[in-house]
A and B are shown apart, each in its own frame.
Chain A
Amino acid sequence: EADIYQTPRYLVIGTGKKITLECSQTMGHDKMYWYQQDPGMELHLIHYSYGVNSTEKGDLSSESTVSRIRTEHFPLTLESARPSHTSQYLCASSVRDSTDTQYFGPGTRLTVL
């Protein structure tokens, strides 16, 4: 199994709060990704990074932001959480080859009340 971690696994929070979802991998992968998935729905790419100081927006528009200061760390931040942000957030990483396998973390299930 790949070594990619996400914390917290579950988060219930009130509207307006600032939250940060953590994602770390110990494989030295350059590429990292954030996906959003609602139950029974597609995985939507919201952010990705090719390496340190590189971040790009994905196919699905998101109010979240990301940063990549270290290779192993790719946190996602919501400045002001809203109920519409309730979803599961999955982090993934891969080696710097475009056809390489993506390894996924366990996900963070976020509920905004």
Chain B
Amino acid sequence: SQELEQSPQSLIVQEGKNLTINCTSSKTLYGLYWYKQKYGEGLIFLMMLQKGGEEKSHEKITAKLDEKKQQSSLHITASQPSHAGIYLCGADNTGRRALTFGSGTRLQVQP
């Protein structure tokens, strides 16, 4: 079973629509990271959340961490074609080791 579940696996939205991607950890979270991956490229760091209830925003992307539920959500407001890509959440479950990553959410934004 996966330690980190992401949903949905893929998402197609029309430009201008809002969307939410969820990430649930089966283990205690010491930190939750969100990355964006473009096809054939490396991962681009978006945000890191550490404290329960923490919320961070960057441009039109907002991420929240619900520590009790061991969940995080990534919300994109008024999506644009430039938001298309694969979004990955990464979890630090021990505080000592490298991150465990989910399988990603593939986002397509249709003009």
A interface list, Cβ under 8 A from B? 1-2, 4, 6, 31, 33, 35, 40-43, 45, 48, 58-59, 90, 92, 98-99, 101-107, 109
Q: Check A104–B35 contact: CB distance below 8 A.
A: yes
From A92, A99, A104, B31 is in contact (CB under 8 Å) with A99
Could you list 18 examples of A-B contacts with CB < 8 Å? A40-B9, A40-B104, A42-B103, A45-B98, A45-B99, A48-B98, A58-B98, A59-B100, A98-B92, A98-B95, A99-B50, A99-B95, A101-B48, A102-B98, A104-B35, A104-B42, A104-B44, A109-B40
Q: Check B98–A42 contact: CB distance below 8 A.
A: no
A-B pairs, 9 with minimum CB distance: A43-B101, A104-B43, A104-B42, A106-B42, A99-B31, A42-B103, A33-B98, A98-B95, A105-B42
Q: How distant is A13 from chain B, measured CB to nearest CB, in Å?
A: 18
Within 8 A of A (CB), among B15-72: 30-31, 33, 35, 40-45, 48, 50
From B30, B35, B102, A42 is in contact (CB under 8 Å) with B102
CA distance A4 to B100 in the complex (A): 20
B interface list, Cβ under 8 A from A? 2, 4, 9, 30-31, 33, 35, 40-45, 48, 50, 88, 90, 92, 95-104, 106
Q: Check A107–B40 contact: CB distance below 8 A.
A: yes
Residues of B within 8 A of A103 (CB): 45
CA distance A2 to B50 in the complex (A): 22
CA distance A2 to B99 in the complex (A): 18
Residues of A within 8 A of B106 (CB): 40
Residues of B within 8 A of A40 (CB): 9, 103-104, 106
Q: How distant is B39 from chain A, measured CB to nearest CB, in Å?
A: 9
Q: How distant is B40 from chain A, measured CB to nearest CB, in Å?
A: 7
Q: Determine which residue in B2, B33, B40, B43 has the highest number of CB atoms from chain A within 10 A of its CB, and name it.
A: B43
Q: Check B43–A90 contact: CB distance below 8 A.
A: yes
CA distance A90 to B101 in the complex (A): 13
Closest Cβ neighbor of A39 among chain B residues: B39
